[in-house]
């Protein structure tokens, strides 16, 4: 299923982008952000989001690859 960024329209968000959206905004969200727009929305950096993704992967979270 194709998922695009609700802010900038960037297409085909990857599994990790979708995963971090769900982890930080809730599992039941309908709208997803690309990494750049998510970072801006949350007031953090893309690197901080990438670091979070790595931590979730190390914990074995199935939302990430």
11 vs 45: CA distance, rounded Å: 21
Q: At what angle do helices 46-58 and 15-25 cross, to 10 degrees?
A: 90
Instruction: Work out how close the CB of 43 gets to another protein at its nearest, in angstroms, rounded to a whole number.
Output: 7
Whether residue 33 contacts residue 4, with contact meaning beta carbons closer than 8 Å, is answered with: no
Among residues 2 and 32, whose Cβ is nearest to another protein?
Answer: 32
Among residues 5 and 21, whose Cβ is nearest to another protein?
Answer: 21
Among residues 30 and 59, whose Cβ is nearest to another protein?
Answer: 59
Interacting residue ranges for another protein, rule: CB under 8 A? 23-27, 42-44, 48, 52, 59
Residue carrying the six token digits 């190390």? 58
């Amino acid at each position: 299923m194709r998922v695009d960024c609700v802010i900038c329209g960037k297409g085909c968000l990857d599994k990790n982008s979708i995963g971090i959206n769900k982890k930080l905004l809730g599992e039941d969200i309908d709208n997803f952000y690309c990494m750049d727009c998510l970072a801006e929305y949350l007031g953090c950096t893309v690197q901080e989001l990438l670091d979070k993704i790595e931590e979730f992967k190390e914990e074995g979270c199935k939302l990430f690859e």
